[in-house]
Amino acid sequence: MASATDLPLDYRPYRTINLCGNKLVGVGAILRIGDVQPLLVGRGADSHPQVWLYARRSPTESWIPVVSSNMPAPYYTLEKHPLTVVKDAARPRTVVIAGSVIIVNAQYNQEEDGVDISAIDLRPLGLNIYGDDHIGLLFAGNLFVGNTMNSVGTAFAASA
């Protein structure tokens, strides 16, 4: 589980993250539900972003890793669709998909030495968090677009 004190050993955060039209600079956590970070996007050994995703099958169950450093968990499926991680050969982009749903689309941004997360849809994981560069980020019933967050502990947080 990705809690504030239990991050993956190979997780190396980006300084700048563009998330669905919002700019995050020096942010400790992108998203937090209670004490868990359900999404981590960090630097990989090559220029492709590394993605970690955590989910739970019900609100009373423990969080489990469903993608760890771009490797989908073989035991986790979403509505009969396994999670698939695609590393784009043409550009440094990592896409996590389940069937036809894009869960995360993250691309390395060479100009800012950061990452652009242009689309996210965590609803198939049981979290009402989704958005893209055109509509912004919908989180906890609120729409966020065009915001800049600098040096904050957590950009978007909700209780568990």
pLDDT, one tens digit per residue, over 133-151 is 999 999 999 999 999 999 9
Predicted local distance difference test score (pLDDT) of residue 59: 80
What are 60-112's pLDDT values in tens digits? 888 989 999 999 988 777 667 788 999 998 889 999 998 889 999 999 999 99
In whole numbers, what is the pLDDT of the chain averaged over residues? 91
Predicted structure pTM score: 0.91
Gap between the Cα atoms of 153 and 156, Å rounded:
9
Rounded average pLDDT over 31-60: 91
